[in-house]
């Protein structure tokens, strides 16, 4: 298992700072993001070449875009999103990225109609066919509020897509908020469809915690890039969460890493640290969490 650094902590920082931190912390690869200072959907054609020059051989584990949401779009809007996703596929191929993250649809799996599943599967299959021809896989992240908000939802989606170029990104901190199993059992539930693992730590907290944020905070965060979301009508699980440094939250990472090793997982552990009140930020949080994750890998 190798560590890759997500650009999440550096969405508002110059790209060079992100790359320098990835190298300084010993990360074997990076996860680029479809954000303004990395690779936004309206970037000029030369932007990919600029990124490749700055990376200077540092591999790209994943290109995490915010395109897709096919389940909720009519044919005209889906075609526009498909065109953006296809553009990202070309960029991913140029950068030799392993995969491209695409959102299938911002509606809870338990509340989606058959047509939601069909729309998402139709466009994802089409995208996967083109991506496979260019050596890129399509990555679907398990995330609360989406069709892939649990292992069951993710498998239903991939069964409908029926294309081997589509895989899953496990994010246990996301699954904590579904709620769904987010410990070692989450690894078993995804089986051989697991493509990458997002590593961050969050905690379940009382509403008065200084860093407390509600379940619906993803609407604000992801809503920066995705304009349409269907808020789950039925909500289960704790109402308040907080971002934490690795080891200070409730995600049982040592047990998850041990299970990944038992199953022979050889993919990337993508460090997707998020800063909260009282926590370090930027380079320092990446350095701290990379050191913790490296120690855990050695003990797994």
Q: Give the pLDDT confidence of 180-224 residue by residue, as tens digits.
A: 999 999 999 999 999 999 999 999 999 999 999 999 999 999 999
CATH class of 2-299: alpha beta
Give the whole-angstrom CA distance, residue 210 versus residue 218: 18
Q: What is the pLDDT along the chain (300 residues), one digit of tens a residue?
A: 999 999 999 999 999 999 999 999 999 999 999 999 999 999 998 999 999 999 999 999 999 999 999 999 999 999 999 999 999 999 999 999 999 999 999 999 999 999 999 999 999 999 999 999 999 999 999 999 999 999 999 999 999 999 999 999 999 999 999 989 999 999 999 999 999 999 999 999 999 999 999 999 999 999 999 999 999 998 888 999 999 999 999 999 999 999 999 999 999 999 999 999 999 999 999 999 999 999 999 886
What are the boundaries of each domain within the chain? 2-299
Sign of CA dihedral 127, 273, 247, 179: negative
Q: In this structure, are residues 173 and 200 in contact, taking their beta carbons and an 8 Å threshold?
A: yes
Left (φ > 0), alpha (ψ -120 to 50) or beta: where does 77 sit?
A: alpha
DSSP string, the chain: -EEEEEGGGGTTS-HHHHHHHHHHTT-SEEEEESSTTS--TT--TTHHHHHHHHHTT--EEEEEEEEE-GGG--HHHHHHHHHHHHHHHHHHHHTT-SEEEEE--SS-GGG--HHHHHHHHHHHHHHHHHHHHTT-EEEEE--TTSTTSSHHHHHHHHHHH--TTEEEEE-HHHHTTTT---SHHHHHHHGGGEEEEEE-EEEE--TTSTT-EETTHHHHHHTTT-------SS--S-SEEEEE-TTSSS--HHHHHHHHHHTT--SEEEE-----TTS--HHHHHHHHHHHHHHHHHH-
**pLDDT (0 to 100) of residue 300:** 67
| Tally of CB atoms within 10 A around 150 | 22
CA 171 to chain centroid: 7
Give the whole-angstrom CA distance, residue 300 versus residue 294: 10
* pTM, full prediction: 0.96
Angstrom distances, CA of residue 148 to CA of 61, 159, 194, 273: 21, 12, 13, 21
Give the whole-angstrom CA distance, residue 28 versus residue 77: 37
For 131-153, write each residue's pLDDT tens digit.
999 999 999 999 999 999 999 99
Q: In this structure, are residues 39 and 33 in contact, taking their beta carbons and an 8 Å threshold?
A: yes
């Amino acid at each position: 298992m190798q560590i890759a650094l997500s650009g999440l902590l550096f969405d508002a920082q110059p790209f060079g700072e992100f790359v320098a931190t990835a190298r300084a912390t010993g990360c074997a690869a990076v996860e680029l993001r479809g954000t303004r200072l990395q690779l936004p959907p309206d970037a000029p054609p030369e932007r990919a070449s600029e990124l490749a020059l700055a990376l200077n051989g540092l591999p790209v584990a994943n290109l995490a875009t915010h395109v897709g949401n096919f389940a909720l779009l009519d044919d005209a809007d889906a075609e526009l999103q498909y065109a953006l996703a296809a553009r990202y596929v070309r960029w991913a191929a140029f950068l030799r990225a392993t995969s491209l993250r695409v959102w299938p649809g911002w509606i809870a799996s338990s509340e989606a109609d058959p047509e939601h599943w069909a729309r998402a599967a139709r466009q994802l299959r089409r995208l996967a066919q083109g991506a496979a021809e260019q050596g890129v896989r399509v990555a679907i992240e398990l995330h609360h509020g989406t069709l892939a908000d649990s292992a069951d939802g993710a498998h239903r989606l991939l069964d409908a897509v029926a294309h081997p170029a589509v895989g899953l990104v496990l994010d246990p901190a996301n699954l904590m908020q579904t709620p769904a199993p987010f410990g070692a059992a989450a690894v078993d539930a995804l089986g051989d469809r697991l493509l990458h693992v997002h590593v961050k730590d969050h905690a379940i907290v009382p509403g008065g915690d200084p860093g407390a944020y509600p379940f619906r905070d993803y609407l604000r965060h992801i809503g920066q890039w995705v304009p349409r979301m269907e808020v789950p009508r039925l909500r289960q699980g704790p109402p308040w969460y907080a971002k934490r440094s690795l080891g200070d939250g409730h995600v049982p990472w040592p047990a998850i890493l041990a299970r990944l090793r038992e199953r022979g997982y050889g993919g990337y552990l993508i460090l997707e640290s998020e800063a909260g009140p009282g926590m370090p930020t930027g380079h320092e949080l990446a350095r701290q969490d990379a050191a913790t994750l490296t120690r855990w890998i050695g003990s797994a």
